[in-house]
Amino acid sequence: MIQNAQFQYKKVLVLGLAKSGVAAAELLHELGAFVTVNDSKPFEDNPQAQDLLKKGITVICGRHPEDLLDEGFEWIVKNPGIPYSNPIIKDAINRNLPVITEVELAYLISEAPFIGITGTNGKTTTTTLIFEMLKNGNRNPLIAGNIGTVACGVAKEATKDDCIVTELSSFQLMGVQKFKPKIAILTNLYDAHLDYHGTFEDYAQAKLNITRNQDESDWLIYNANQKIVEQYVKDSKAKKVPFNSEQRTESGISADVSTIYWEGKPFIERSNIALPGKHNLENILAALAACILYGCEKEKMEDILKTFTGVRHRTQFVREWNGRKIYNDSKATNCLATKVALDAFTEPTILIAGGLERGHSFEELRESMKNVVGVVAFGQTKNRFIEFAQSCGISITKLADDVEDAVQKAAEISNPGNVILLSPACASWDQYPNFEVRGDLFIENVLKLN
């Protein structure tokens, strides 16, 4: 860890706990900052805050005092989920105080280079593939960010011989100032999180922070299948590496129906790849490009591609039950992700969907509902999703209270030969703390079917 002196003897406010807030507070305390943590959860119900207090960190819990910034803070480290409309954040910006997320903190103290992965969809699969291939190639990867350990916790232990492979959300990237990954990946850009960002332009600009500080010594891997992505990355100073899953190209990495090419030359036969789906081919191309640039041997990458079948909560096969195949795609928190999942199946499908109400339309799913024979909907959007399903000509529909109830109802309306697919098209936060909890409960209840 680099003993970054810029926080020593500085008053720093960590706003919001959860894993990232705790890790940031502990690291800043170790760096010699005077740390105050502010969290909305009451102290008596907040074991994380209690532990931080024992370590000598000032804790304010149960409320967000309006005059909090009068304490003379010089830095704000905020939880990525806290919007910039929050009164304390607005006050900090008005006072010209730097507002960062813990990813920036991780970068500032890390001896290891970063590979940063962002985009609307495909981040987790791409990140996991890079980590597994680099690990197989003895390149000392460490995984961090939205999967794995909080980034500043990983960076604290990393050495210059390691590499930090980091999945990054738009929320995290809004709070970076100097973050500069050696390799950046932009998987794709679609409408998402507009309730947080307000406009697609603001969302896209947050994503582009991943390459904002890159220069000619760095690489940017981007999706050349999307014209909008090409347009957004044109001003990046990094060396650009496009990936194209639709045709062979002479630059970057590309694929046709049989082969993956690196700089126009055959590299790997697609028959050696275990992970199915057109969308996953894009993830594979991005991951391969990163590993090639990082010096990983072809054979080590190919070994992983032959056996890698996906990540948890992303079109994850759970079990076969009485002739039905059941899949967990809880990570599908938007319509595009659910569309991709539906398009992967040709069998008659029972779709389980619904969740947090963000007011977004489900129309993007209409063409992909052709193989759906029944729908079970839960969460805040359940009534609206059922109306949409019925408008698609689906007559078998059920309302459910939660995931547990949805599993039972999907089992009841299904037949042998069907696929039962949890792919919510909505975030989980109306009923569950995250998509992982939602997916784990789905798996638990699927395994109870007898």
Numbered residues of the known binding site for ATP: 119-125
* DSSP letters spanning 289-343: HHHHHTT--HHHHHHHHHH----TTSSEEEEEETTEEEEE-TT--SHHHHHHHHH
Residue with the two structure tokens 């929320």: 171
Best CA proximity match to 230, nearest among 251, 213, 215: 251
* Ramachandran sector of residue 11 (left: φ over 0; alpha: ψ -120 to 50; beta: rest): beta
What ranges in 31-177 are assigned the alpha helix state H? 47-54, 87-94, 102-109, 123-136, 151-157, 170-173
CA distance 141 to 162: 6
306 neighbors 274 (Cβ within 8 angstroms): yes
Q: Which residues are annotated as a binding site?
A: 119-125
Q: Token pair 């926080």 is at which residue?
A: 7
The whole-angstrom separation of Cα 397 and Cα 159 is 54
Burial 175-206 (b: 16+ CB within 10 A, else e): bbeebbbbbbbbbbbbbbbeebbeeeeebbbb
DSSP H helices, 116-178, are: 123-136, 151-157, 170-173
Is the separation of the CB atoms in 109 and 31 below 8 Å?
A: yes
Length of the chain: 450
Q: What are the tokens at 127?
A: 């990140």
